[in-house]
Amino acid sequence: MKTGFVPIKLEDYIKRHLKSNRDTDRSELTKSLRSAIEAAKKGTRCSCGNPIWVIGSAIVGHACFTCITGASYPDSDYEIDEVCNLHDLCSVSARKRSKDSRKRHTNAKKAKD
Ligand SMILES: [Zn+2]
């Protein structure tokens, strides 16, 4: 069974990416990711109509997972956590939807006080 997107924090993704792509400029990568996040939040869609995949879009330009990778469904592929719930394919948003139909943040750390 495919798992859908795996949410990852922006900082954590940047660290991982830089580890395997040592020639990548950190500030350039951060800038590209931030602008893709902003675009996704504004509702920017791929030309095919799907929500854009921020991690891929930061590298190749605004497009969805399927158009970027050619795969029809993500399987343990990362997506930035703050935009992950924009995707129907995100495992977290699917879980949230079935458990709790209201829009409620279930961030345990923040909800503590
Ligand atoms: Zn597309």
Q: What is the pLDDT of residue 88?
A: 74
Q: What is the pLDDT of residue 4?
A: 86
Q: What is the pLDDT of residue 1?
A: 64
Instruction: Name 67's Cβ contacts closer than 8 Å, sequence gap at least 6.
Output: 46, 47, 48, 50
**Residue ranges of the alpha helices (H) in the chain?**
10-20, 26-41, 54-60, 65-69, 81-84, 91-99, 108-111
Distance, CA 56 to ligand 1 centroid (Å)? 11
Q: Enumerate residue ranges in the chain where pLDDT < 50.
A: 93-94, 97-112
Which of 14, 98, 107, 60 minimizes the C-alpha distance to 52? Answer: 60
Distance, CA 4 to ligand 1 centroid (Å)? 16
Distance, CA 33 to ligand 1 centroid (Å)? 18
